[in-house]
């Protein structure tokens, strides 16, 4: 079958090449078609399909295309959201070049998730950093600077991950996925930190709120999907048996992201922190995915539940987060305002946007009846059943924070206050994009079994979405969020920009870099001075051997000092007199005899 021999990334990359040269409308249509077909292929293609037999550098057997239950799911949702986002780009006046960059970013992300070995994975992984940086840079202005910081951090993260893979190769002797992830203490640590950059570990996350609000509003829709979610996928590949520290890091991300988001006024910045928070749930799920983590053991299904919940959350998150960025994008598109402080009361003027936003917000907050409730519940349930209570509370607390900040976003954008001027609602293309995604959010929320059929480990775990306790849990979180908002409403408005960890390390980087550059320059100058001095002195000695000998002789004691000055007239028209270091015939023969004597003495 032809389908099986065409890797999905190739289709999208071909489209990416075509888009800038074709007319804008046709180009975007091809983009939608290409990414949509990838989604379709991912839905129908058989597991186990692979494209291998390539030898890289003559030593590595690489599998550039490999289909299994995880990559299939990733390919499906990546392809679908890309199709929607291309349509949205078209409707939001994104130019063809930007869409081409976006499609190349989508293409290499697909390459990453369909990779059959570590080498192919890291290859596409690094390309992902490159293409996404280009996508950010394309917008110009401030985006260039944040794109540069983004590139630096991802360069470091990618290098760490690469180091982990090299080390892993040295240990295992093969680059192919073994199913055990990356083993060994050092490579595992390197991999965790390297991937941690991509998923936004607390402390390594600052690029997220720094970069994602800066480019074109349609570019943000692409960005919010691929890098972090590929990171989650990579994390699961590297740690299929989970790790308790990773689980707790996920919990910390969930809480930190949600409450940092609460403090933001910039809408896209707020959403970016929520990426970290939501990815925190997924990372918690990855961390819980091992039978050895927490209580429950191998005979229970909780680890499988956590893994399935992780991928379910990846799937759902891409839908509602894409939708959130689209709705916020529409607000920015129509008003030109980025900050909540400058807008308000838009609900009546933009009903479609308001409704789809509400659906997305309820989904991300995990309100019963929406898709976020399903997958987040699976992860929280796994943490609960494994009796990791601290983690469980962290994840619940993250849920409260999410409710809080989305009530804030919705309230200040659509309900409170007023916005002067004419504001139209989303245009046709944007509306189609948003409504279709919003529909899926509701559909998967109301019919969780549809989602379960797509997820890995189908039938290997038991989970009932709508039980009384789950629904109560969701409602309690929502209630806590609402009460919290009612109390904090005043202070939460007009907070201003809150510094994050990046203000610390940006400064550290700047001053550290300055110190380094100055030090290197000075060191170079020093070495240069020494070298030049040495050469100059050598030259001088070569040119004036007599003077050199005479000057050196001055340091000798008077008794042994040779009387050069008397024999050699100095005033020879300024030219240095020649130094007669030549041994005469007699001296030479004496030397010969001396050497012979010494040699014979030594040898005998």
Partner 1 sequence: MTEEALPALLIAVPILGATLPLALGLVRQRIGWWVATLVLAVEAAMASWIAYAVYIGGDRITHILGGETFGRKEVTVGSFDTEGFIVGIELVADALSGLLVALIAFVSLGVLAYARRAGPRQNTFYSAYLLLTGGLMGLVLTGDLFNMFVFLEIVGLMTYALVASDRSAASAVAALKYLVIGTTGASMYLVGVGYLFVRTGTLNMVDTSRVLAGEPEWLEVTGALYTEPLVVASFGFIAVGLATKTAIFPLHTWQPGAYSEAPDSVTVLISALVSTTSAYALARITWVVFTPEFFAVNVKATEAILVLAALSVVIGSVLAAMQQRVKRVFAYSSVAQFGLIAMAIGISVHPAATDTATRFAVYGVVIHLIGHAVIKGGLFATVGAIKKSTGARSIDEYAGLATERPVLSGTLAVLGFSLIGVPPMIGFVGKWYIGLAAVKAELWPLVFVIFASTLLTLLYVARLLEKLYFTPLSETTDTAQEPAVATDGRGSVSFGMVALAVTAAVLAVGLGFMGAELTDAIDPLVDAIQESSPEVHQ
Choice between 25 and 578, CB closer to partner 1? 578
Using the Cα atoms of residue 95, residue 98, residue 100 and residue 105 in order, give the sign of their dihedral. negative
On whether the CB atoms of residues 405 and 365 are closer than 8 A, the answer is: no
Q: From the list 26, 530, 556, 591, which residue makes contact with partner 1 (rule: CB under 8 A)? A: 591
Choice between 516 and 535, CB closer to partner 1? 535
Over the window 139 to 158, marking each residue x when it contacts partner 1 by CB under 8 A and - when it does not, the resulting string is --------------------
When asked if residue 342 is in the footprint of partner 1 (CB under 8 A), the reply is no
- Burial label for 526, CB within 10 Å (0-12, 13-18, 19+), is exposed
Phi/psi at 318 (nearest 5 deg)? -60, -40
Instruction: Name the minimum Å distance from CB 555 to partner 1.
Output: 19
When asked if residue 488 is in the footprint of partner 1 (CB under 8 A), the reply is no
| Contacts to partner 1 from residues 170-209, by CB under 8 A | none
Could you tell me the two tokens for 20? 């800038």
When asked if residue 428 is in the footprint of partner 1 (CB under 8 A), the reply is no
Instruction: Name the minimum Å distance from CB 520 to partner 1.
Output: 24
Q: From the list 152, 186, 390, 583, which residue makes contact with partner 1 (rule: CB under 8 A)? A: 583
On whether the CB atoms of residues 433 and 326 are closer than 8 A, the answer is: yes
Instruction: Name the minimum Å distance from CB 229 to partner 1.
Output: 50
Choice between 203 and 545, CB closer to partner 1? 545
Choice between 17 and 583, CB closer to partner 1? 583
Choice between 48 and 584, CB closer to partner 1? 584
When asked if residue 2 is in the footprint of partner 1 (CB under 8 A), the reply is no
On whether the CB atoms of residues 117 and 176 are closer than 8 A, the answer is: yes
Q: From the list 171, 418, 503, 588, which residue makes contact with partner 1 (rule: CB under 8 A)? A: 588
> Which residues lie closer than 8 Å to 346 by C-beta, 6 or more apart?
331, 335, 353, 354, 413, 414, 419, 423
Taking CB under 8 A as the binding criterion, the range among 236-244, 380-388, 453-461, 534-542 that sits at the site for partner 1 is 534-542
Rounded to an integer, what distance in angstroms lies between the CA atom of residue 78 and that of residue 8? 11
Instruction: Name the minimum Å distance from CB 554 to partner 1.
Output: 19
Taking CB under 8 A as the binding criterion, the range among 45-53, 122-130, 212-220, 579-587 that sits at the site for partner 1 is 579-587
Could you tell me the two tokens for 339? 């900050």
Instruction: Name the minimum Å distance from CB 548 to partner 1.
Output: 9
- Burial label for 505, CB within 10 Å (0-12, 13-18, 19+), is middle
Residues that contact partner 1, how many (by CB under 8 A): 25
Buried b (16+ CB within 10 A) or exposed e, 123-156: bbbbbbbbbbbbbbbbbeeebeebbebbbebbee
Rounded to an integer, what distance in angstroms lies between the CA atom of residue 295 and that of residue 154? 36
Instruction: Name the minimum Å distance from CB 533 to partner 1.
Output: 14
SS3 content of the chain, % helix, strand, coil (to 5): 70, 0, 25
Taking CB under 8 A as the binding criterion, the range among 124-132, 350-358, 506-514, 589-597 that sits at the site for partner 1 is 589-597
Pairing, β 60-62 against β 65-66: unpaired
Q: From the list 538, 551, 565, 580, which residue makes contact with partner 1 (rule: CB under 8 A)? A: 538
When asked if residue 429 is in the footprint of partner 1 (CB under 8 A), the reply is no
Rounded to an integer, what distance in angstroms lies between the CA atom of residue 148 and that of residue 136? 9
- C-alpha count within 13 angstroms, C-beta hemisphere, residue 28: 19
Q: From the list 97, 516, 525, 589, which residue makes contact with partner 1 (rule: CB under 8 A)? A: 589
Give DSSP secondary structure letters for 434-452.
HHHHHHHHHHHHH-HHHHH
| Contacts to partner 1 from residues 539-578, by CB under 8 A | 539, 541-542, 545, 578
Site for partner 1, rule CB under 8 A:
535, 538-539, 541-542, 545, 578-579, 581-585, 587-589, 591-592, 595-596, 599-600, 602-604
């Amino acid at each position: 079958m032809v389908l099986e021999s065409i890797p999905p990334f190739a289709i999208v990359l071909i489209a990416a090449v075509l888009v800038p040269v074709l007319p804008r409308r046709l180009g975007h249509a091809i983009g939608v078609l290409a990414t949509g077909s990838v989604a379709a292929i991912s839905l129908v293609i058989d597991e186990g399909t692979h494209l291998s037999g390539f030898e890289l550098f003559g030593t590595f057997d690489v599998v550039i295309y490999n289909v299994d239950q995880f990559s299939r799911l990733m390919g499906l949702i990546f392809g679908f959201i890309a199709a929607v986002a291309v349509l949205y780009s078209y409707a939001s006046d994104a130019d063809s070049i930007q869409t081409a960059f976006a499609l190349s970013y989508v293409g290499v992300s697909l390459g990453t998730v369909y990779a059959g070995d570590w080498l192919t994975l890291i290859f596409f992984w690094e390309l992902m950093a490159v293409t996404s940086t280009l996508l950010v840079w394309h917008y110009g202005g401030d985006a260039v600077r944040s794109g540069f910081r983004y590139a630096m951090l991802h360069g470091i993260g990618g290098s760490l991950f690469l180091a982990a893979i090299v080390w892993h190769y040295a240990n295992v002797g093969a680059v192919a996925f073994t199913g055990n992830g990356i083993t060994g203490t050092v490579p595992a640590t390197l991999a965790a930190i390297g991937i941690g950059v991509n998923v936004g570990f607390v402390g390594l996350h600052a690029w997220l709120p720094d970069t994602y609000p800066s480019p074109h509003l349609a570019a943000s829709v692409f960005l919010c999907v691929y890098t972090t979610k590929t990171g989650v996928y990579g994390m699961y590949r590297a740690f299929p048996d989970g790790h308790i520290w990773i689980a707790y890091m996920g919990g910390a991300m969930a809480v930190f992201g949600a409450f940092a988001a609460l403090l933001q006024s910039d809408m896209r910045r707020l959403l970016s922190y929520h990426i970290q928070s939501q990815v925190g749930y997924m990372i918690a799920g990855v961390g819980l995915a091992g039978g050895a983590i927490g209580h429950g053991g191998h005979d229970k299904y909780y680890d499988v539940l956590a893994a399935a919940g992780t991928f379910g959350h990846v799937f759902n998150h891409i839908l509602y987060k894409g939708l959130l960025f689209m709705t916020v994008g529409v607000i920015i598109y129509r008003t030109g305002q980025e900050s909540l402080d400058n807008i308000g009361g838009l609900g009546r003027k933009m009903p479609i946007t308001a409704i789809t936003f509400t659906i997305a917000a309820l989904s991300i907050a995990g309100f019963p009846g929406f898709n976020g409730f399903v997958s987040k519940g699976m992860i929280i349930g796994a943490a609960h059943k494994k009796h990791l209570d601290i983690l469980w509370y962290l994840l619940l607390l993250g849920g409260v924070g999410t409710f809080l900040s989305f009530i804030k976003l919705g309230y200040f954008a659509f309900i409170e206050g007023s916005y002067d001027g004419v504001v139209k609602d989303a245009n046709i293309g944007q509306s189609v994009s948003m409504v279709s995604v919003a529909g899926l959010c509701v559909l998967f929320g109301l019919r969780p079994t549809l989602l379960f059929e797509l997820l890995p480990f189908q039938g290997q775990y038991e989970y009932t979405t709508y039980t009384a306790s789950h629904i109560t849990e969701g409602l309690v979180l929502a209630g806590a969020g609402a009460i919290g908002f009612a109390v904090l409403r005043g202070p939460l408005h007009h907070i201003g920009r809150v510094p994050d960890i990046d203000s610390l390390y940006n400064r550290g980087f700047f001053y550290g870099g300055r110190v380094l550059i100055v030090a290197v320059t000075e060191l170079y100058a020093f070495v240069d001075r020494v070298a030049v001095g040495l050469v100059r002195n050598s030259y001088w000695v070569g040119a004036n051997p007599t003077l050199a000998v005479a000057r050196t002789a001055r340091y000798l004691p008077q008794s042994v000092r040779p009387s050069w000055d008397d024999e050699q007239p100095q005033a020879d028209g300024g030219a240095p007199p020649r130094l007669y270091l030549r041994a005469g015939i007699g001296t030479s023969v004496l030397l010969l005899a001396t050497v012979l004597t010494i040699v014979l003495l030594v040898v005998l």
